[in-house]
Structure 1
């Protein structure tokens, strides 16, 4: 495993880290803390030293599991996210009182005195135009409750706007089906010494190359109920790509890249961009952790392979995905 610096945090983090949306469960299944801890230990054994969680994941149970884990391994780093518990999820609700309450709750869940990195969890776009929100985060940092802060975004424009504040990192969807962040934002983030965490790196599994037109997902799986944004931003599900189109594009990528293990190549592709601090795929079992970690050791993609990805993107994905996010 190789390591990169996460922006202003100064943390040296594993190129392949772990997102914990699925921690201790599969999509829609009940949370199991022992499974969660086993998954975290498997990641650590594979060289992973960075873990991304959120207060809303399994209603705080993911944070609790990560908190227990870091007591065993104080050498690791983590981020947690806040804001999505708001009902309604409006810009006005990102008040000083609410933000402080969320940080205090995460401190209790994780049983720590200060949080490594806190990210606003995909807030409404207008939040990025409200300096009082970031002034509150500055105050929480001065108080020692958080060490660093940043944002998790839906759109490139939000990421660009956030750079005007004292953020340390941006979590953004970037993968073979979501190329726009690399066009301008990556360079701007590097210039500002802001780390980039690439989330949804496999486009909700589409870029595993294992799905077909007939693949079925459980009724409690967002890949069933959120394809058109019924529950939250549709860009979170399959990166906003039409499912049938995504299957066709993934099949072409496998064929033209000459691989049956598209997931590994897709992760390695993201790491071709030195602006990316880490890619954060999720996992619900240790075998997935091992496979993800091994992707970092793959040879660099050739110029011809990079061109194939761009060509497939331009042919199948760019319109309308690039113009929406």
Structure 2
């Protein structure tokens, strides 16, 4: 497993991480906690040191599982979690849920408790819409948490360029978690160049486009109850994406699978610090990790990708 620096933080991260959304069990169909823990342990044993979760994944279930993983190996793992996704709601008094720094810190402390640790390596604001009162509250809370030594780095999860620049107005943003894949390259225009210029680490979620780039989906694919992809087959973009994925299957050759090629694609970008594909099983985790050892994409590979995207 190769490692990279998380932007200007100096934190060494495995270029393939582990995205722990699916193991929360609230958005990707049924999961088994023992199997989920085996998947994370397999990833860690193969060199993954970056584990990403959030307080809303399974309403804390994911963080609780991550706590079991990091017990006894806390100093060997870089733990990333997020808070604030519920910020678009109002409390019973009509106030923003995270409208004050104290509320952000309360959410942070709850994550600490579930994770069973006394510090978090990277704490992200999970707000992904335009600037709000919560933005300022998070920025103030971030400064306090850093002063107190409870976080090593802070970031925001969004692709909104204006929002990223607003969060970084004083140069204090360490990382951005963003959606980037062969099928979704919009951040290449402005966001990724800005992150590289500013020394801000890019943490890539969705590098497999929620499973599309495994090449396993078909027009007749169905998803179980409770899976956020359940209605995908009824949407026009799904058929269009299937067509593109079919054309991309030429990237799989030798020992390299399509999903590994897709992971190599996002890692090709010099701004990217770590990609965080999800996994429910040890086998899936091992497949993801193996992408780190695969050769970089060739110029011919990139031409194929560009042509398919243009078409």
- In the superposition, the TM-score normalised over structure 1's length comes to 0.85
Question: In structure 2, what is the equivalent of residue 93 of structure 1?
Answer: 97
Select the residue among 102, 110, 131 that pairs with 2:115. 110
Question: In structure 2, what is the equivalent of residue 196 of structure 1?
Answer: 202
Question: In structure 2, what is the equivalent of residue 322 of structure 1?
Answer: none
Question: In structure 2, what is the equivalent of residue 264 of structure 1?
Answer: 260
Q: Secondary structure at the match of 2:176?
A: strand
Contact 1:128/1:162, CA 8 A, preserved across alignment: no
Q: Secondary structure at the match of 1:51?
A: strand
Unaligned 5+ runs, structure 1:
229-239, 316-325
Q: Secondary structure at the match of 2:70?
A: helix
Cα separation, 2, equivalents of 1:167 and 1:105: 23
Select the residue among 164, 167, 188 that pairs with 1:182. 188
The offset of 1:80, in angstroms, is 0.2
The offset of 1:89, in angstroms, is 6.8
CA deviation string 1:176-211 (max 9, x = no partner): 011121223222212221100110111111111111
The offset of 1:101, in angstroms, is 1.3
Question: In structure 1, what is the equivalent of residue 306 of structure 2?
Answer: 310
Contact 1:271/1:278, CA 8 A, preserved across alignment: yes
Structure 1 residues 258 and 226: alpha-carbon distance in aligned structure 2, compared to 1, 3 A threshold = closer
Q: Secondary structure at the match of 1:117?
A: strand
Is residue 2:220 matched to residue 1:244? no
Structure 1 residues 111 and 59: alpha-carbon distance in aligned structure 2, compared to 1, 3 A threshold = same
Question: In structure 2, what is the equivalent of residue 294 of structure 1?
Answer: 290
Q: Secondary structure at the match of 1:137?
A: helix
Question: In structure 2, what is the equivalent of residue 222 of structure 1?
Answer: 228
The offset of 1:113, in angstroms, is 1.4
Deviating runs (4+, > 6 A) in structure 1?
Answer: none
Question: In structure 2, what is the equivalent of residue 231 of structure 1?
Answer: none
Cα separation, 1, equivalents of 2:104 and 2:246: 44
Question: In structure 2, what is the equivalent of residue 78 of structure 1?
Answer: 79
Structure 1 residues 40 and 196: alpha-carbon distance in aligned structure 2, compared to 1, 3 A threshold = same
| Correspondence 1:5-84 to 2 at 5 A | 5-23=5-23, 25=25, 27-30=28-31, 32-74=32-74, 75-84=76-85
Cα separation, 1, equivalents of 2:149 and 2:243: 49
Question: In structure 2, what is the equivalent of residue 153 of structure 1?
Answer: 158
The offset of 1:164, in angstroms, is 2.3
The offset of 1:124, in angstroms, is 2.5
Q: Secondary structure at the match of 2:296?
A: coil
Contact 2:201/2:272, CA 8 A, preserved across alignment: yes
Aligned-residue Cα RMSD (Å) equals: 2.5
CA deviation string 1:211-252 (max 9, x = no partner): 111111113110114789xxxxxxxxxxx9811100001001
- In the superposition, the TM-score normalised over structure 2's length comes to 0.89
The offset of 1:158, in angstroms, is 3.0
The offset of 1:50, in angstroms, is 0.7
Structure 1 residues 220 and 130: alpha-carbon distance in aligned structure 2, compared to 1, 3 A threshold = closer
The offset of 1:88, in angstroms, is 1.4
Structure 1 residues 272 and 291: alpha-carbon distance in aligned structure 2, compared to 1, 3 A threshold = same
Structure 1 residues 301 and 127: alpha-carbon distance in aligned structure 2, compared to 1, 3 A threshold = same
Cα separation, 1, equivalents of 2:165 and 2:301: 29
Cα separation, 2, equivalents of 1:169 and 1:188: 12
Question: In structure 1, what is the equivalent of residue 215 of structure 2?
Answer: 209
Q: Secondary structure at the match of 1:203?
A: coil
Structure 1 residues 89 and 178: alpha-carbon distance in aligned structure 2, compared to 1, 3 A threshold = farther
Contact 1:174/1:200, CA 8 A, preserved across alignment: yes
Q: Secondary structure at the match of 1:122?
A: coil
Q: Secondary structure at the match of 2:23?
A: coil
